[in-house]
Amino acid sequence: SLALFIAGFAISVATTNKEEQPHFSNPHRRMGLAMFIMAILQVIGGIVRPHNPPEGEKKKPVRVGWEVGHRVLGVSLLACGFWQMYEGILLYGVKYSTDESDEEAITIAYWVWISVMIAVMVLGGAFFKFRN
């Protein structure tokens, strides 16, 4: 997924260059840069993570801290991604002068879809955590 993220980021930068727009000049562009940096850090964190102790042994504080940080960064990236897509919808409407009612319909459909995805993640997580 990082390779796709890098490709998408490269396409975004190339498109910005082609349109002769200033880089990172609006919240959507700055969030894209922040998410790119966070994604790189998430992967690096996964590569250098402390090992899990053998079964029956207690986790060391550095492992517990890594797990918390990894989850917080992952959830932050997900939330930023939701916001980023919403901002992209708004920018699309401005750039291509779409009808406001079309933009509202797309925005409603987007947030309904995101709500369903969040519900599936939460309910799925609860199911697998408490199924035994």
Q: How far apart are CA 84 and CA 82, in angstroms?
A: 5
Question: pTM for the whole thing?
Answer: 0.79
Q: How many CA atoms lie within 13 A of 122 on its CB side?
A: 6
Instruction: Identify whether the C-beta of residue 80 lies closer than 8 Å to the C-beta of residue 69.
Output: no
- Residue-level pLDDT at 99: 79
User: Tokens 């919403």 label which residue?
Assistant: 86
pLDDT band at 93 (very low <50, low <70, confident <90, very high): confident
Tokens of 44: 């690096």
Q: How far apart are CA 47 and CA 24, in angstroms?
A: 29
- Report residue 92's pLDDT band, with 50, 70 and 90 as the boundaries: confident
Residues 34, 80 contacting (CB under 8 angstroms): yes
